[in-house]
Structure formats: C-alpha cells, structure tokens
Amino acid sequence: MAELSIDEIMQRLPHRYPFLLIDRIIEFEKEKSIKALKNVTFNEPQFAGHFPKHPVMPGVLLIEAMAQAGGMLAFQSVEDDREYLVYFTGIDGVRFRKPVRPGDQVIFELTCLRRRGMMWKLRGQAFVDGVLVCEGILMATLMPQEDA
C-alpha cells in the first residue's frame, strides 16, 4: 500500500486542468485495488452550467474520475508506465445513488475483477462520507504510446 501525490499522478496521467479529476491516491495494492480522493470545489468549471442555482457534479465526471483512478491502478502493472497510455473502453451497470456537491470529498475505490494482458475489468465505487454515491463496472486497456 502506498500513497501518491498529485505530482506523481500528473507524471502518469496525460490529463490536465480542467480534466484531471483525482487529487491523490490514498492507497493501492498492485494489480488488485486502488483508492483515490477528489476534493469537489465550487470553483470547478462544470458548476457554472450544472446547475448555477444548485451545483451538482455531473455523473459523467464521476465516472471519468473513477476511470482515471483505474488507469493509475493499471499503470502499476507495467515496468515503465511512462511508455503507455490508458484508454477507457467501456462501462456497465452504472448507478448514481446520491448527488455530489461542492464541498464533498469523494473517495473512489476500484477493485480488479479480471485482467487479461493489458485489458482490465474493474468494479468502481464512489463514496462521500462513507455513503455510496456512484458505482459501475469499467473496462480499460493499456497501449504503448507509439501505437496510440
């Protein structure tokens, strides 16, 4: 188990503001599970239009944040993770249980259900204050950057 800072996340994921959606890796077990954190702030650009009088984190961004955490888990499985990109390849069974609002701290927990080579199938859950707010099954693949 280890913790990774935003600087270490940025060394691996190609995403940048406003699309880098995880702030820290709290812990991970190589090729098995990962836990990531996102602090939701009112200053994020999506809240200008979603929704101005009642800001709610768009579900698609919760899923993207989950996918980014899953990508970080996949990167831990290769020797030189800087030679690869991770591609989100599918989602199944997504459910949104409760709105996420500015001021919330979201904890994303992903567990590997199956891995075949560079293909991953992950169970993702998002929690706010210990309450499940979103869940789904995500698929992703690692690809060498020269093939991307």
Task: Catalogue the active-site residues.
Answer: 50
Query: Would you state the structure tokens that stand for residue 135, as one six-digit string?
Result: 């869940």
List beta partners, residue 81. Answer: none
Q: Which of 108, 107, 99 is nearest to 136 (CA)?
A: 108
One-letter amino acid at 80 equals D
Backbone angles phi, psi at 71, to 5 degrees: -60, -40
Give the Cα separation of 86 and 70 in Å (integer).
9
Give the Cα separation of 109 and 117 in Å (integer).
22
Query: Would you state the structure tokens that stand for residue 90, as one six-digit string?
Result: 């599918």
